[in-house]
Amino acid sequence: MSENLKILIAGEGGQGVQTIAEIIAKAAFVGKLESLHIPNFGVEQRGGVSLAFLQISKSPIPYPKFLKADILAVLASRAVGRVEKYVGRQTKIINAIHLDTLLLERKIQTTSLNIAVLGNLAKFLSQFLSIEALEEQLHVKLADKPNYNENLNAFHLGQLLTEKDAPSHLGYYKRYLKPLVSQNNHIFFARFPYLCKGCGLCIERCPKNALSFSKVDLGVYGTPMPQVDLDKCIGCKICQITCPDCAIKVVKKQKIKKN
């Protein structure tokens, strides 16, 4: 690994992407290394994508931007599209998108997901930073918070993650985010969060009022996506035709209906 380590952490607003970037940057600074942290601000308060560009080096850092990251940590599926271009051949990927299920199994709240990723990052940073140094900064930053012990547990869990928990590839997410599919015997209904802008035209045009705004799923601008009630849906495809951005795909399973 080169003398200048370039790290990119990507997630959703509110996940604590900038927090862990700050902890690493400060640990490096205290350890008398050069460190640089550039947060990428956007509409993250509304649930947009949040990126942290981080560099650690033993010599002065010449330029704040970089073209390819050495380490890429991805915390949320929606961030993948924004960071794809920073992936080079040497890039080590930490794909923590589905880590929340493991955390819940261990009775750790998903709010500590970022600290688990920090724990996993620690093993890549060993050339520059010791685990103790990171733990010390973690203490400085978060000791006052009520869930500090939970965060510590997540930090130790993160160091032990395997390839299965946090894959080193971006998988399906390469071009399109995985569609949200709901289906029953008659209808296959796919929605693409990457394309949906949340205009609501499909909801208004649905003749059976089968569509409504979801309280969970978000589209590309962080706006609510429509969700379908398959019991009401007749597969007329009006939503698919109306959708300006091709974010809905409906397939009527005729073969099954004939039987």
List of residues contacting another protein (CB under 8 A) = 172, 175-176, 179, 181, 188, 190, 192, 194-195, 197-201, 203-205, 220-221, 223, 240-242, 244-247, 249
Q: Is 126 helix (H, G, I), strand (E, B) or coil?
A: coil
Bridge partners, 72 (sequence order): 8, 93
Range list of H helices, the chain: 17-30, 80-83, 99-105, 113-122, 131-142, 148-159, 201-205, 238-242, 254-258
Closest to another protein by CB, 33 or 180 = 180
| Dist CA 60 CA 193 (whole Å) | 41
* d(C-alpha 137, C-alpha 121), whole Å: 14
Which C-beta is closer to another protein: that of 37 or that of 191?
191
Asked whether the beta carbons of 54 and 117 are under 8 A apart, the reply is no
Minimum separation from the CB atom of position 249 to another protein (A)? 5
Minimum distance, C-beta of residue 247 to another protein, in the bound complex (Å)? 7
- Shortest Å, Cβ 196 to another protein: 8
Cα separation, 13 vs 87, in Å, equals 21
For another protein, give the closer residue by CB, 58 or 85: 85
- Closest to another protein by CB, 133 vs 233, is 233
Shortest reach from residue 188's CB to another protein, in Å: 7
